[in-house]
Every structure is written in structure tokens, then in C-alpha cells.
Amino acid sequence: MSTEADSHSSAFNLDPPVPLNVSKAYSIEDLRRAAQRRLPKAIFDFFDGGAEDEITLRDNRAAYQRVRLMPKVLTDVSTIDTSTDILGQRAQLPMAIAPTGAVGFGWRGGDIAIARAAAAAGIPYTLSSTATASIEQIANAAPGRLWFQAYILRNKPFLQTLIDRAQAADYEALVITVDLPVGGKRERDFRNDFSVPFRFTPKNLLDFARHPGWLSDIVRFGMPVMENLIGLESKATNATAIASSVGRNYDPSFNWEGLQKIRDGWPRKLIVKGILSPDDALRVAAMGCDAVVVSNHGGRQLDGAVATFDALPGVVKAIDGRIPVLLDGGVRRGSDIFKALAMGAQGVMLGRATLYGASAAGEPGASRALAILKDELVRTMQLCGVRSTGDANASFMF
């Protein structure tokens, strides 16, 4: 399917800046720090920050750290199977890439970089509505298991066009995000003069000037464009203006009836992301959706919302095996993934982990993030006496 968004595809044929030596990154936190050094503060904080006091942002990490593992010894762990079933197909790791918007602000072509890394790792990749690569660009440049995430816009014909494009491009699943009736209050952005439409101020100009590697790309090629949203508002001609139009076009009236209409109209797998309540999870399963993602939008929406790992057991119990449950939020270690599996998740979704990698070093950085998590997961399984992901259960939790 050809669209006007294809006219921007040449932006992804550029020679990227020389990446850092990612082999020297030993943790996701190492990649985070590398991204922080490379990016202007306003851009890094846009990716890294959360809403208001960032209580939920921090608690997403702390929830994993509050629980301990109970290893079982004298098991032959010479061979480890990290594969698992995700939405009816085998994935090489119990992971999928979560939808992350505006990745190109961190690394030009970053969406494609992460999608390629995911395909190479044998896991699904989810393209955000607010990505800086189009539905078609991802399908052409990064063939693999592709899911498309749709925000619910007031402009329903435009939203339907996006969904139709995803179907035409053979995306395996549609992900509907349901925790964004309005945008969260992200105060880091205010303090950094980061706004949409973008305003150049003395503060952020000085910030940009201190990061010449990032700035030279912007000066040469301009701000990336949120490709899928071109045409949403005729006056929106650049990335920041388009982002602003999205904010004005979220539909706070979207309800269960609206979700059912999408379920009835989409012929493939439908995933609902942004569920914390067991009652909501049960209702999602009952209406014929194919998976639920326990998510609080990475702590970027309702500050004070329950940590996703803490919400997971209630959702798993309510679903009772009817449909798969994925966990999103705060995953930074392979042990986090193991804990999620042990508590009943089929897998986790990775947002910031691969975003940090891509922002630090493009595709090699995103691949390094996945390699780090795989290595840590395998090591955790071996140390706990677990030979396959399906063997992880609550008996390993303390």
C-alpha cells in the first residue's frame, strides 16, 4: 500500500553517526547513561521522565526489587530454552517491543533500528502511532512479527485509515492503548522548555549546542516527522506540530462500546494495552480480545497508579488462562523478566530498554539491549534451576 508517508523513506538511507562501542555496555543502565550523554537534556528527559512526582515511574522499578527469588539447586541447566509462545507463535525470547513514540528524536531511523533488532532476536515489534517511521517503512525495512499500536483519535476516519494500512501491510496484531484519554502532566518537559509545538528558547538552544553530534543531524536533515500522522491536521507540517495535533485529538469519550467495534472490525489478533484492574482485564477477555498488557504507560500518565508488577497477580488470577497476559513497565534486568514469568505473565514488553540502546548507538545499541537482557535471563534461569521459560512459577518467588 503506497501513501504520502513513503515520500520520506529516503531519510532512513543516511549513514548514521559512528556508534559507541556497545560491547562496553554491560547493563541497560549503561545504555541509559550513554543515551543521556549523547542527547540534549530536553530530549533525554522526554524519553526518560514520567508524570508529576514520578512516583509510579520509580515504583515500576521498585516493585521488582521488593521481591526475592528462591532458587532450586542440583538441576541440569547446561541447556536453557528461552523461547515461549506469544500470541500463538513461538518467540525466541519471552519479550516483545512496546510501542514508543518519537524514537527518531533520539536517533534518526531509530524506529527501524529497533524493529530490525527485534526481528533478528526473533521477537515481535510494536510500531507506535506516533513513530518517526511509517507503517509501510517498517514493513519494508524490518520484516518480522509486526504489531501496530493505535491511539484513539477523535478523527475516526483517520484512525480507520491507519488500521487499514496496518492490515494492508500484513501486521500480525493491532494494539489498542486504552490508558490515554488525556495526556499526563510531564513536568520535566515544562522545566526543559520542551513543548509541542516546539519553541526554541535560550535554555533549550544552549542545551542543544552542548550536544553537537545530535545537533548536526538536526541541522542537516531537520526534525524527524511522525510519519503515520501526516494529514491528521492540515496545518501540521513538522514533527512537533503534528505531535500537538495528536494531543488535541485524543478521544476522552472512547469506551467499551468503541473497543468492541474495533474488535468486530479487525480480523486479526487484537491486544489491549493499559490494563491494571482485574475487572477490566476480565471484561477485555470476555469481549474476544486476544491478549491484555498490564501497563501504566511507563509512569507517564496517572502518577500514583499501581506498579505494573504489583498489578500483575490480580490480572493473571482474573484472566485465569483465558487469554495471554503481557507485562509492560520498568523491565531493566533479565531477573525482572524471570519474575514476571514466575508470576504468570506470558512475556514482557520492552520500551525504554531498547529506546536507550537505540538512542545511544542506533541498531547496534538496540541489539545490545536485547543481548544484555537475554544473557541476564539465561543466567537467572540457570541460577534458579529452571531449564525453560515454561518452568518458571511462583515457587521460585520469596
Query: What is the CATH number for 355?
Result: 3.20.20.70
Number of domains in the chain: 1
Mark whether 8 is an active-site residue: no
Whether residue 308 is contained in a domain is answered as yes
Which among 65, 59, 48 is positioned nearest to 305, based on CA atoms? Answer: 59
Residue 2 burial (CB < 10 Å; 0-12/13-18/19+)? exposed
**Tens place of pLDDT per residue across the chain (398 aa):** 333 333 333 343 333 444 568 889 999 999 999 999 999 999 999 999 999 999 999 999 999 999 999 999 999 999 999 999 999 999 999 999 999 999 999 999 999 999 999 999 999 999 999 999 999 999 999 989 999 999 999 999 999 999 999 999 999 999 999 999 988 999 999 898 886 556 778 888 888 889 998 988 888 888 888 899 988 864 444 444 444 444 567 899 999 999 999 999 999 999 999 999 999 999 999 999 999 999 999 999 999 999 999 999 999 999 999 999 999 999 999 999 999 999 999 999 999 999 999 999 999 999 999 999 999 999 999 999 999 999 999 999 99
How many CB atoms within 10 Å of residue 37?
Answer: 12
Whether residue 77 is contained in a domain is answered as yes
Chain segment 172-220, per-residue pLDDT in tens: 999 999 999 988 999 999 898 886 556 778 888 888 889 998 988 888 8
Whether residue 10 is contained in a domain is answered as no
Interstrand relation of 95-97 and 347-350 (parallel, antiparallel or unpaired): parallel
Whether residue 12 is contained in a domain is answered as no
Whether residue 242 is contained in a domain is answered as yes
User: Which member of 165, 269, 273, 297 is catalytic?
Assistant: 297
Contact between 296 and 276 under an 8 Å Cβ cutoff? The reply is: yes
Whether residue 81 is contained in a domain is answered as yes
Q: What is the full DSSP assignment across 119-183? A: HHHT--EEE-TT-SS-HHHHHHHS-SSEEEEE--BS-HHHHHHHHHHHHHTT-SEEEEE-S-SS-
Contact between 325 and 291 under an 8 Å Cβ cutoff? The reply is: yes
Torsion sign across C-alpha atoms 109, 111, 116, 117: positive
Please list, in sequence order, all residues whose beta carbon lies within 8 angstroms of the beta carbon of residue 73, skipping any fewer than 6 positions away. Answer: 385
Whether residue 386 is contained in a domain is answered as yes
Whether residue 11 is contained in a domain is answered as no
For residue 186, the enclosing domain spans 22-396
Residue tagged 512537533 (cell numbers): 240
